[in-house]
């Protein structure tokens, strides 16, 4: 299984020789606007998703900064209560539905899934393009709703407040419903691609781990999103026509809303974190030049998280009048999900054993990812312990926990992927030292922002508070300082990546010397992905011989 | 040890029996987590240094975990997590089954204030008196949206679901004043919806209850919450719905004076009825039904001083009964300061 | 987990077995089951109505899925998709209904309060301040 | 991809040559399997969508059992059973159409599809009659409800569940009928052959799912 015969024995290109970009590749294969907007090439759709989701990240980031500035002083600071409530709803909705859920599957899943499987494209290319335009339509509808009056109900839009509030939430609800469709289409496309388009030699247990993670994510996307689609329709109908589904004044049951809402929203957090774990499984092998430690364990724990994630939603309802029996059942199952994450962490650290670690910017993000996943995961387990959760529910402890997982794990994963695959997607390298500086800033800024919020949670500051008692002031100031450091880090990344897009050093076929399947094609890859027939005899990330298979260069 | 850890973790003081159990489990979890993650972190950093890349394209051996490693990696975390789960769940079951002899207190959350009513009749707004070292059961409900009773010092929290009761209980141990906060988002003033729990020595509490009842007897049949019995209930309810549908609440605020302090687009409706109002042309009128109806149909006839004439006319948009319902709704909006007098029990300014 | 993309001889997919006759047979069975579920609903079996109706409905669903939707000889992966989606529906229903059944009784609307709750404050069994759904109550409005 | 049917003439067996195979699939069977597998995944999402509605039904049935009993008696049993018969039979005709399409008999498939679409239309007409009855009696959801005959609390809630479940289902019937009509047109153009009948199969699967949901809705709303 581990013999390293490669398809073509060609002398390694001499280091430093002047490499230039391949003549024809997917970026310059038709440069009219029409060829981009009506493309069915999964790589171009990935780039369009990158543009859309980065815009979402920018927007969400701005709202986050406004929230942090407002919380600088206990009393009103820069905006008044209603705008603050709209702002944190905006921050939640834009970040989750426009960035976190579509980002890694939409950008890196679209780009690398077919290449890693050895396929020419995803199963249904036209549906892939439809999914992008449905995403844009949903995002536009949601933003239009948020701007023309906006919802002030928080991204969780708990009834009966959301059904009796005077702000118009109908367009925001329909926006979320439409974005849900895009998520379903992407997930469906990926599952069928994995099942039917694997190249010869890529069997189920020789697939890269990133593909396993995307497989688990897609299962959740397909099976959980319809329930939130229905819930948003019900809330929109109830807000406009006055049905009695969730509003107790008309006989409805608000706890039923919370069950239906969290049945989607808890698996949704695994939609966000699983792809990031997939990226880390790939990148940690590449930068420690070692095969993954326990391939089947990590693959199966991805599926485990996807499957068990569906039964753990009740830990959001511990203090909402849920029965003790349900609280116990949900808490026990949530511990199971914690074990799957622990398996992955131990196996990642195991991968470093006897490796050849090169400390580059992506590797710095991997360390950040590991630290935040351990810290966030353990606070998650503490939150799932029912009696502790009674004190922490709806306080800043919960806010800090999910930001540790979302910003800590998922955005670290996103940045790792962006830096690790930047040469493959655009053919150029980013400046290494700037990368390390930004990584340091981000990790530092992140800790300074969210560790004070853990302590705020312990002290009992509830979330979504516009004004708070004086005793919480000091920690909030610290958190806001950290937030500005974090924002500064993101700005630096945006700048040097934009510059590297056009005049970064040409990367050639495999700048990292990684043995992942996706490095067997030229970078940036041609439209039909490969310039030679694909038959993977080796397993991904097999570094047992010195000769660097992947730097073999044909065309360039 | 307990005090040191409590200070380090910024935890509020432990003023109830449940708080002690929760904090002990909290310390157990924190300590185990810190050691475990520190161990993993140090191993990782050791690997960074020991196995750093020495030669370009360096080969590395194919290393796969042994079955023993995999089993250990599953069983040890699972065992620890399930241990925490059992301790946590045992405490939670204790929290959700109040002792039969507990004293009941009805808690009513209403948009942006708390009302407490004792079975023997006295009730108060914003301040809850409880005896120390005696179990107190809270039967919590809400009048409009979901709120949540949270007393950080007792580590107790329970949502106030409208239309139904939820229950929780505690045994306060240390007499004193503790803040009560609403932790389920409930609208504009969610961040001001604070209350206060005054823990009194048992005898002092009995003393307090007695004179509350004596005070109550002298007045005629005082209701726990007067606007429960709204004679024109349906009319006011309809008025409120019309106000929401027509979007009046976008410019006029309907909450008590605390909210009214900021300048809103339109004059606040709280205490508007029968209030002498200065118009921009200097004259002063009493805001009676005629003024209210006229302002709906022809807003620019009498403009209140300090407000701009931006209100659209509702001529033809509002039917007769709807206008009457709106006026009835506006008449029902009396801020608590006026109703305060009829509610028993000293009113404390909420703790800043 | 699922069948790899076993490629049959290109351009000659095997036509599914069985014929029109079998489909009509299944159709008749479905009509018969509809008649039985209608009949069972007339019997005075009290609270057993719901489980009986659901059981018969499940039988009809199995028939439709296996023969009309060709899951009888379909790819393994299609079957897994169908089974998993129904399993998640059952999980959702189970936990929501278990919650309602074992919840603090007063947390369910409309269930009369426990005896020791002071009747004076809640005589009508309806928590104070909960405006009754308009119109449906012919009875009392508010209390006291 | 839509090749103009008129321009191409029929193959000797009497149907059109199948459309070109997409570039990234190497043989027709694996493409057909992929399309069918994709459709089954989509049916999984539809099942989960109706799961939310059924959760609502069972929750409110637990809260207001007597209201559900009284209201169920006011639904006309005859129309409900007739609707069930219509949907089951249309499921049969769609299955037969798929059976014929597999053998290239486009003509039979076309007429069977027309019958199925007519039955779907019949279902909607009967649904319309029932809705009209309810609008007249004011047995409507939420704030529009004042229907004297239901005395138990929670009357409007039954009608919320009833209108939302049957409304969502009727919407799916309309989508199903338009799919069947589009596939019937293609059958009329004799596009289906033993090697290419995926669109008809997917429209059939969708229609069977719509029938599946009604098989659950009928006893829960009308009988129990």
pLDDT digits (tens, 9 = 90+) for A357-408: 999 999 999 999 999 999 999 999 999 999 999 999 999 999 999 999 988 8
Let me know: does D57 contact D48? Beta carbons within 8 Å: no
Residue in chain A closest to D1 (alpha carbons) equals A126
Write down the pLDDT at residue D7: 53
Highest mean pLDDT among B287-291, B327-331, C81-85: C81-85
3 state SS for A214-270 = HHHHHHHHHHHHHHHHHHHHHHHHHHHHCCCCCCHHHCCCHHHHHHHHHHHHHHHHH
Q: Would you call B44 an interface residue with chain A, using a CB distance cutoff of 8 Å? A: yes
For residue A526, pLDDT beyond 70: yes
Which residue in chain D has the smallest CA separation from C66? D208
pLDDT over 90 (residue B306) = no
What pLDDT, on the 0 to 100 scale, is given for residue B112? 85
Q: Is A461 a residue whose pLDDT tops 70?
A: yes
Kind and range of the H or E run holding B283: none
The Cα–Cα gap between A329 and A339 comes to 16
Predicted pLDDT at C112:
39
Give the side-chain half-sphere CA count within 13 A for D132.
7
Best mutation target, A189, A190, A195, A226, to test chain D (most D CBs within 10 A): A226
pLDDT digits (tens, 9 = 90+) for A83-109: 899 999 999 999 999 999 999 999 999
The kind and range of the H/E element at B270 are none
Beta bridge partners of A349: none
Mutation target among B139, B222, B233 for the C interface, most CBs of C within 10 A:
B139
- The residue extents of the domains of chain C are 19-74, 76-107
Predicted confidence at residue B262, as pLDDT, reads: 45
Tell me the chain A residues in contact with residue D53 when contact means C-beta distances shorter than 8 Å. 230
- Residues of chain A contacting D51 with CB distance shorter than 8 Å: 226-227
Out of D37, D60, D161, closest to residue A195 by CB: D37
Instruction: Tell whether the model's pLDDT for residue C136 goes beyond 90.
Output: no
State ipTM: 0.85
Confidence of residue A524 (pLDDT cuts 50, 70, 90): confident
CB contact under 8 A, A223 and C2: no
Interface mutation target, options C6, C90, C95, chain A, most CBs of A under 10 Å: C95
Given the structure tokens 């709703």, which residue do they identify? A145
For B232, what's the count of Cα atoms within 13 Å in the CB-facing half-sphere?
A: 15
State the pLDDT at residue B59. 84
Judging contacts by C-beta atoms under 8 Å, the chain C residues touching residue A255 are: 99, 107
Helix then strand then coil, in percent of chain A rounded to 5, is 70, 0, 30
- Given CB atoms, is A168 within the 8 Å cutoff of chain B? no
CB contact at 8 A, A448 and A478: yes
Mean pLDDT over the full length of chain A: 88
Residues of chain C contacting D54 with CB distance shorter than 8 Å = 89, 93
Q: pLDDT at residue B113 above 80?
A: yes
Average pLDDT in chain B: 79
Torsion of CA D82, D85, D91, D92, to 10 degrees: -140
Q: How far apart are CA B141 and CA C107, in angstroms?
A: 9
> Residue C6's closest chain D neighbor by CA?
D30
pLDDT level of residue D55 (50, 70, 90 thresholds): very high
The answer, yes or no, to whether the previous bond of A409 is cis (omega within 30 of 0) is: no
Report pLDDT for B213: 77
Task: Spell out the domain ranges in chain A.
Answer: 48-551
A215-262: per-residue pLDDT in tens? 999 999 999 999 999 999 999 988 888 777 888 877 788 899 999 999
Start-to-end C-alpha separation, chain D: 49
Question: In the structure encoding, which two tokens stand for residue A367, read together?
Answer: 């360390």
Please indicate whether, in this complex, the C-beta atoms of C24 and D92 are within 8 angstroms of each other.
yes
Least confident of A480-494, B227-241, D60-74: B227-241
Whether residue A27 contacts residue A516, with contact meaning beta carbons closer than 8 Å, is answered with no
Residues facing residue B197 across a β-bridge? B128, B178
- Looking at residue A548, what is its pLDDT? 53
CA–CA dist A217, C29 (Å, integer): 40
Residue in chain B lying closest to A460 (CA)? B152
Sign of the C-alpha dihedral, residues B115, B118, B122, B127? Answer: negative
CATH homologous superfamily, domain A48-551: Cytochrome c oxidase-like, subunit I domain (1.20.210.10)
CB B318 within 8 A of CB B296: yes
- Using CB atoms, pick whichever of A289, A291, A464 lies closest to residue B185: A464
Query: Is the Cβ of C99 closer than 8 Å to some Cβ of chain A?
Result: yes
How sure is the predictor about D47, in pLDDT bands with cuts at 50, 70 and 90?
Answer: very high
Distance between CA D31 and CA B236 in Å, rounded? 64
Distance CA A251, CA A45 (A): 46
Q: Which tokens go with D134?
A: 């309810």
Banded model confidence at residue A200, pLDDT cuts 50, 70, 90:
confident
Q: Cβ contact (<8 Å) for C127 and B163?
A: yes
Q: Considering only residues 104 to 123 of chain A, which have any Cβ-Cβ distance to chain C shorter than 8 Å? A: none
Name the nearest CA neighbour of B135 among B108, B177, B98, B106. B98
Q: How far is CA D147 from the centre of its chain?
A: 31
Query: In this predicted structure, what is the pLDDT of residue C140?
Result: 29
| Residue C116: both structure tokens together | 């020791």
Q: What is the pLDDT of residue C17?
A: 55
Side-chain half-sphere exposure of A73, counting CA atoms within 13 A? 6
**CB pair distance less than 8 Å for D102 and C92:** no
| Min distance C20 CA to chain D CA atoms (Å) | 6
All domains of chain B in start order, with CATH: 2-54+62-95 (1.10.287), 103-226 (2.60.40.420), 233-339 (1.10.760.10)
Q: Residue A396's pLDDT is what?
A: 94
pLDDT of residue C114: 33
* A254 to B183: CB separation less than 8 angstroms, yes or no: no
Pick from B13, B341, B2: nearest CA to B197: B13
Statement: residue D2 has pLDDT above 90: no
Query: Least CB-CB distance to A254: which of B18, B92, B146?
Result: B146
The Cα of A103 is separated from the nearest Cα of chain D by a number of Å equal to 22
Q: How far apart are CA C97 and CA A322, in angstroms?
A: 11
Q: How many whole angstroms separate alpha carbon A21 and alpha carbon A296? A: 37
CA distance A40 to chain B (A): 37
- DSSP state, residue A470: G
d(C-alpha A433, C-alpha C109), whole Å? 62
Q: Is the pLDDT of residue B289 over 60?
A: yes
CA distances to C20, D100, D187, D189, D194 from D109, rounded to whole Å, are: 12, 6, 7, 11, 13
* Residue B147 phi, psi dihedral angles, 5° rounding: -115, -175
Residue C144 reports pLDDT greater than 50: no
Residues of D in contact with A249 (CB under 8 A): none
- Cα B156 from Cα B149, distance rounded (Å): 8
- Hey, are the CB atoms on B104 and C117 less than 8 Å from each other? yes
CB contact (8 A) between residue A321 and residue C103: yes
Give the pLDDT score at C138: 28
What letters, b where the CB count within 10 A reaches 16 and e where it falls short, cover A425-445? bbbbbbbeebbebbbebbbeb
Query: Of A123, A247, A259, which has the smallest distance from its Cβ to D38's Cβ?
Result: A123
pLDDT higher than threshold 80 for residue B276: no
- How much is the mean pLDDT over chain C? 69
User: Per mean pLDDT, which range of A38-47, A533-542, B255-264, D113-122 is the poorest?
Assistant: B255-264
For chains A and D, what is the number of CB pairs under 8 angstroms?
106
Q: Which residues pair with B117 in a beta bridge?
A: B106, B123
Find the closest chain D residue to C27 by CA distance.
Answer: D92
3-class state of residue D201 by DSSP:
helix
Residue of C110, C121, C126, C144 to mutate for B, most B C-beta atoms under 10 A = C121
pLDDT of residue C108: 75
Question: Which pair of tokens denotes residue A15?
Answer: 């280091």
Q: Which residues in chain C have Cβ-Cβ distances shorter than 8 Å to A263?
A: 92
**Closest Cα in chain B, distance from residue A323 (Å):** 9
Helix axes A324-352 and A361-384, enclosed angle (nearest 10): 160
Give the contacts of C85 (CB within 8 A, at least 6 positions apart): A223, D43, D44, D45, D47, D48
Asked if residues B139 and C117 have their Cβ atoms less than 8 Å apart, the reply is yes
DSSP 8-state symbol, D196:
B
Could you tell me if D71 lies within 8 Å of chain A, comparing CB atoms? no
| 3-state class (DSSP) for residue A552 | coil
pLDDT score of A1 more than 80: no
B10: which residues sit within 8 A by CB, 6+ positions away?
A: A455, A456, A458, A459, A475
Domain D28-223 class, CATH top level: mainly alpha
Q: Looking up tokens 């079957």, which residue turns up?
A: C79
**Closest alpha carbon to A466 in A77, A64, A147, A62:** A77
Q: Does D6 touch chain A (CB under 8 A)?
A: no
CA atoms of A242 and A250, how far apart (whole Å): 9
Strand partners, B196: B127, B179
Pairing assessment for the beta strands B127-131 and B194-200 based on DSSP bridges: parallel
Which subunits count as partners of chain B given 3+ CB pairs below 8 Å?
A, C
Structural domain spans, chain D? 28-223
How buried is B261 (Cβ within 10 angstroms: 0-12 exposed, 13-18 middle, 19+ buried)? exposed
pLDDT for C115: 33
C-alpha A197/C-alpha D38 separation (Å) is 13
Q: Before A524, cis peptide (omega within 30)?
A: yes
Residue B116 host element (H or E): strand B113-117
Candidates C64, C101, C138, C140: best to mutate against D (most CBs of D within 10 A) is: C64
Judged by CB atoms closer than 8 Å, whether chains meet at A371 and B41 is answered as: yes
Rounded to a whole number of angstroms, the CA Rg of chain A reads: 23
pLDDT-derived band at A520 (thresholds 50, 70, 90) equals confident
* Contact between C118 and B166 using a beta-carbon 8 Å cutoff: no
- The chains found to touch A (3+ Cβ pairs under 8 angstroms) are B, C, D
A274-321 per-position pLDDT tens digit: 999 999 999 999 999 999 999 999 999 999 999 999 999 999 999 998
Interface test with D, best of A113, A128, A215, A243 (most D CBs within 10 A): A243
Closest to A35 (Cα-Cα) out of A44, A23, A43: A44
Out of D42, D52, D161, closest to residue A188 by CB:
D42
How far is Cα A398 from Cα A400, in angstroms, rounded to an integer?
Answer: 5
Q: Does D40 touch chain A (CB under 8 A)?
A: no
Apex CA C122: angle with CA C120 and CA C126, to 5°? 160
Is A138 in the C-facing interface, judged by CB distances under 8 Å?
Answer: no
Cis peptide before A160 (omega within 30 of 0): yes
pLDDT for the residue numbered B223: 38
Q: What are the pLDDT digits (tens) for D129-179?
A: 999 988 888 777 777 777 777 777 777 888 889 999 999 999 999 999 999
């Amino acid at each position: 299984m581990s013999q390293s015969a490669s398809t073509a024995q060609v002398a390694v290109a001499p280091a430093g020789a002047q490499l230039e970009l391949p003549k024809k590749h997917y970026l310059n294969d038709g440069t009219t606007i029409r060829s981009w907007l009506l493309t069915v090439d999964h790589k171009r759709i990935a780039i369009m998703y990158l543009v859309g989701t980065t815009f979402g990240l920018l927007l969400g980031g701005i709202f986050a900064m406004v929230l942090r500035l407002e919380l600088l002083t206990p009393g009103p600071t820069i905006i008044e209560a209603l705008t603050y409530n709209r702002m944190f709803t905006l921050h939640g909705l834009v970040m989750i539905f426009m960035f976190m859920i579509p980002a890694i599957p939409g950008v890196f899943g679209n780009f690398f899934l077919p290449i890693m499987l050895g396929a020419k494209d995803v199963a249904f290319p036209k549906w892939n393009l439809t999914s992008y335009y449905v995403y844009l339509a949903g995002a536009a509808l949601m933003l239009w709703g948020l701007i023309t009056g906006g919802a002030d109900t928080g991204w969780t839009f708990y009834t009966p407040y959301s059904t009796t509030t005077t702000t118009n939430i109908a367009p925001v609800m329909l926006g979320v419903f439409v974005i849900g469709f895009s998520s379903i289409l992407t997930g469906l496309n990926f599952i069928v691609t994995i099942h039917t388009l694997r190249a010869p030699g890529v069997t189920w247990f020789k697939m890269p781990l990133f593909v396993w993670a995307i497989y688990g994510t897609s299962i959740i996307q397909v099976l959980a999103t319809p329930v939130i689609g229905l819930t948003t329709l019900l809330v929109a109908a109830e807000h406009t026509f006055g049905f009695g589904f969730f509003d107790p004044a008309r006989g409805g049951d608000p706890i039923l809303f919370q069950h239906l809402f969290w049945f989607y929203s808890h698996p949704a957090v695994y939609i966000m974190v699983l792809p990031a774990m997939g990226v880390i499984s790939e990148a940690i092998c590449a930068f420690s030049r070692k095969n993954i430690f326990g391939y089947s364990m990590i693959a199966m724990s991805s599926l485990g998280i996807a499957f068990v994630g569906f039964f753990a939603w009740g830990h959001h309802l511990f203090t909402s009048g849920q029965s003790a029996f349900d609280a116990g059942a949900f808490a026990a199952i949530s511990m199971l999900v914690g074990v799957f994450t622990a398996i992955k962490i131990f196996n990642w650290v195991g991968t470093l054993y006897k490796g050849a670690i090169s400390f580059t910017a992506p590797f710095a993000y991997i360390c950040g990812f590991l630290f935040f996943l351990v810290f966030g995961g353990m606070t998650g387990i503490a939150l799932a312990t029912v009696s502790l959760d009674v004190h922490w529910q709806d306080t800043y402890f919960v806010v800090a926990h999910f930001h540790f997982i979302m910003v800590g794990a998922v955005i670290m994963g996103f940045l790792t992927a962006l830096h690790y695959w930047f040469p493959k997607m655009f053919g150029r390298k980013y400046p290494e030292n700037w990368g390390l500086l930004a990584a340091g800033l981000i990790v530092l800024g992140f800790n300074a922002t969210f560790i004070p919020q853990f302590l705020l949670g312990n002290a009992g500051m509830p979330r979504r508070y516009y004004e708070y008692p004086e005793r919480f002031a000091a920690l909030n100031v610290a958190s806001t300082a950290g937030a500005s450091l974090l924002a500064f880090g993101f700005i630096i990344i945006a700048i040097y990546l934009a510059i590297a897009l056009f005049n970064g050093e040409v990367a050639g076929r495999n700048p990292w010397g990684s043995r992942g399947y996706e490095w067997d094609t030229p970078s940036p890859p041609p439209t039909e992905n490969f310039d030679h027939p694909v038959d993977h005899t080796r397993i991904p990330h097999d570094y047992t011989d010195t000769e660097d298979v992947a730097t073999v260069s044909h065309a360039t | 040890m307990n005090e040191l850890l409590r200070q380090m973790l910024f935890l509020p003081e432990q003023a109830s029996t449940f708080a002690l159990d929760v904090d002990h489990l909290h310390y157990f979890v924190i300590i185990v987590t810190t050691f475990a993650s520190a161990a993993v972190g140090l191993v990782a950093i050791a690997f960074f240094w020991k196995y750093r890349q020495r030669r370009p394209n360096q080969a590395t051996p194919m290393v796969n975990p042994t079955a023993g490693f995999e089993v250990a990696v599953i069983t040890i975390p699972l065992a620890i997590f399930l241990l925490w789960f059992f301790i946590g769940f045992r405490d939670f079951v204790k929290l959700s089954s109040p002792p039969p002899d507990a004293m009941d207190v009805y808690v009513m959350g209403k948009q942006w204030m708390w009302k407490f009513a004792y079975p023997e009749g006295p009730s108060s707004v914003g301040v809850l008196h409880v005896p120390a070292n005696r179990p107190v059961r809270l039967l919590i409900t809400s009048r409009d949206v979901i709120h949540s009773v949270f007393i950080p010092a007792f580590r107790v929290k329970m949502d106030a679901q409208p239309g139904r009761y939820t229950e929780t209980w505690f045994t306060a141990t240390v007499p004193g004043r503790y803040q009560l906060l609403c932790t389920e988002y409930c609208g504009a003033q969610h961040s001001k919806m604070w209350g206060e729990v005054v823990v009194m020595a048992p005898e002092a509490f009995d003393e307090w209850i007695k004179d509350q009842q004596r005070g109550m007897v002298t007045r005629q049949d005082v209701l726990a919450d007067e606007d429960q019995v709204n004679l024109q209930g349906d009319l006011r309810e309809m008025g409120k719905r019309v106000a929401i549908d027509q979007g009046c609440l976008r410019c006029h605020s309907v909450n008590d004076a605390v909210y009214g302090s900021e300048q809103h687009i339109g004059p606040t409706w709280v205490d508007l009825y029968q209030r002498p109002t200065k118009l921009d042309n200097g004259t002063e009128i009493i805001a009676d039904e005629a003024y209210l109806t006229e302002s709906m149909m022809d807003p620019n006839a009498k403009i209140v001083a300090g407000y701009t004439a931006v209100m659209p006319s509702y001529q033809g948009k509002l039917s007769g009964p709807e206008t009457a319902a709106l006026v009835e709704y506006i008449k029902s909006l009396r801020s608590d300061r006026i109703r305060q007098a009829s509610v028993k029990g000293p009113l404390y300014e909420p703790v800043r | 987990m699922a069948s790899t993309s076993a490629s049959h001889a290109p351009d000659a997919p095997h036509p599914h077995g069985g014929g029109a006759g079998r489909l009509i047979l299944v159709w008749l069975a479905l009509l018969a089951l509809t008649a039985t579920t209608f009949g069972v609903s007339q019997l005075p079996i009290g609270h057993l109505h719901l489980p009986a109706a659901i059981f018969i409905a499940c039988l009809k669903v199995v028939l439709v899925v296996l023969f009309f939707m060709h899951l009888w000889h379909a790819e393994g992966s299609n079957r897994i998709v169908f089974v998993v989606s129904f399993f998640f529906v059952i999980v959702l229903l189970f936990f929501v209904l278990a919650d309602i059944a074992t919840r603090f009784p007063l947390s369910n609307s409309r269930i009369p309060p426990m005896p020791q709750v002071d009747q004076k404050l809640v005589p009508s069994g309806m928590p104070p301040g909960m405006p009754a759904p308009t119109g449906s109550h012919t009875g009392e409005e508010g209390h006291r | 991809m839509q090749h103009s049917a008129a321009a191409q003439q029929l193959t000797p067996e009497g149907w059109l040559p199948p459309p070109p195979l997409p570039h990234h699939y190497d043989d027709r069977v694996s493409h057909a399997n992929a399309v069918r597998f994709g459709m089954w995944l989509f049916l999984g999402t539809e099942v989960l969508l109706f799961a939310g509605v059924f959760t609502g039904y069972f929750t409110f049935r637990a809260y207001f059992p007597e209201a559900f009993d009284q209201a169920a008696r006011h639904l006309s049993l005859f129309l409900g059973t007739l609707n069930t018969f219509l949907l089951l039979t249309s499921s049969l005709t769609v299955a037969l159409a798929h059976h014929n399409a597999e053998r290239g008999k486009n003509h039979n498939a076309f007429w069977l599809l027309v019958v199925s679409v007519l039955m779907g239309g019949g279902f909607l007409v009967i649904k319309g009659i029932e809705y009209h009855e309810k609008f007249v009696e004011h047995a409507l959801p939420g704030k529009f409800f004042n229907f004297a005959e239901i005395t138990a609390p929670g009357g409007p809630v039954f009608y919320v569940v009833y209108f939302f479940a049957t409304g969502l289902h009727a919407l799916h019937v309309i989508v199903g009928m338009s799919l069947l009509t589009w596939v019937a047109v293609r059958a009329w153009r004799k596009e289906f052959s033993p090697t290419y009948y995926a669109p008809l199969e997917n429209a059939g699967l969708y229609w069977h799912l719509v029938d599946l949901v009604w098989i659950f809705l009928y006893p829960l709303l009308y009988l129990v």
